[in-house]
């Protein structure tokens, strides 16, 4: 197989797999084997401060807000989420935006 054909095949596989990677998600990083609950979460996203990764081109603000609201209710840290900060190019390649929230009652 020539290099050009291999590169085209690899590009096609990446593009097809990327179609499922545009869904927003709550970015929660955990430290495996943490001894205390305070050391369990790594980064800015904690149960009382969820961070949502999303792409502005495919996801509207209401969907991102709903994800954060659901996370606050699920973690029992508040009734809804309020946006605090937004960063760009801090998440994944196809989902580059982070929107940070704070759970409030």
The better pLDDT of the pair 77, 20 is held by 77
Using alpha carbons, select from 70, 86, 91, 99 the residue that is nearest to residue 21: 91
What are the structure tokens assigned to 12, written together?
A: 């096609």
* Rounded-to-integer distance, Cα 58 and Cα 19, Å: 11
Instruction: Supply the pLDDT for residue 35.
Output: 67
Residue 25 CB burial class (10 angstroms; 0-12, 13-18, ≥19): middle
Q: Where are the domains of the chain?
A: 24-104
pLDDT band at 61 (very low <50, low <70, confident <90, very high): very high
What are the structure tokens assigned to 24, written together?
A: 């927003």
**Quick one: what percent of the chain has pLDDT higher than 70?**
75
Question: What are 99's strand-pairing partners?
Answer: 52, 86
pLDDT band at 63 (very low <50, low <70, confident <90, very high): very high
Mean pLDDT of the region 36-44: 62
């Amino acid at each position: 197989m020539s290099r050009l054909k291999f590169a085209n095949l690899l590009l096609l596989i990446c593009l097809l797999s990327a179609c499922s990677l545009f869904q927003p998600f709550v970015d929660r990083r955990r430290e495996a084997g943490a001894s205390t609950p305070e050391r369990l979460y790594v980064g800015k996203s904690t149960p009382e401060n969820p961070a949502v990764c999303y792409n502005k081109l495919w996801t509207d603000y209401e969907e991102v807000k709903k994800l954060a609201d659901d996370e606050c209710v699920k973690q029992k840290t508040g009734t809804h989420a309020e946006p605090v900060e937004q960063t760009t190019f801090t998440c994944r390649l196809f989902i580059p935006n982070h929107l940070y929230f704070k759970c409030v009652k």
